[in-house]
Amino acid sequence: MRGKLFIVVSMLLASEVLSHARLTESMPAEGGTLSADNATITLSFSEALQPRFSDFAVHFLGEHADAAGTRDNRLPRQAPEVDSSRSLIELSLPPTSEPGWYLLDWEVLAEDGHTTSGKLRFQLRP
């Protein structure tokens, strides 16, 4: 019985150690809206990141949320603001950003050395 308990506890601990940084919350949420007077994207992750080795690309999609993000519609890169825990990232859109749909394409490197990536579509309104 002790042997089985040891194996179960070991597996649970190993799963915690091997976990990747997950996106736990975003503002705006997927498909949500940002106001042009506060055009800041906030991403919260489950663990500390290495922002220097993480990448955030914002693409202007125009009127259609289902358009693709390409080099041609990528906005100039903005340096992210990072909190002291390095698990909260803020990205401000350039002040000249037009109303319409945007795509944030992100890839982060967690302190444990694992990468996680994702996409977030949102609308900017005047």
Mean pLDDT of 79-88: 94
What secondary structure, in 3-state letters, does 15-33 show?
HHHCCCCCEEEEECCCCEE
Read off the pLDDT band of 7 (50, 70, 90): low
CATH topology of domain 21-125: Immunoglobulin-like (2.60.40)
pLDDT in the model for residue 61: 97
Domain regions of the chain by residue span: 21-125
Sheet holding 88-92, edge to edge: 23-27, 40-45, 88-92, 81-82
Q: Is the pLDDT of residue 11 over 50?
A: no
The whole-chain average pLDDT of the chain stands at 88
| Residue, of 6 and 84, whose pLDDT is higher | 84
Q: Is the pLDDT of residue 117 over 90?
A: yes
Cβ-contact 103, 59 below 8 angstroms: yes
Mean pLDDT of 82-109: 95
Read off the pLDDT band of 1 (50, 70, 90): low
pLDDT in the model for residue 79: 87
| CA dist., res. 41 & res. 20, Å (int) | 21
* Lowest-pLDDT choice from 1-10, 15-24, 69-78, 94-103: 1-10
H/E stretch holding 9 reads helix 2-17
pLDDT in the model for residue 10: 44
Mean pLDDT of 31-56: 95
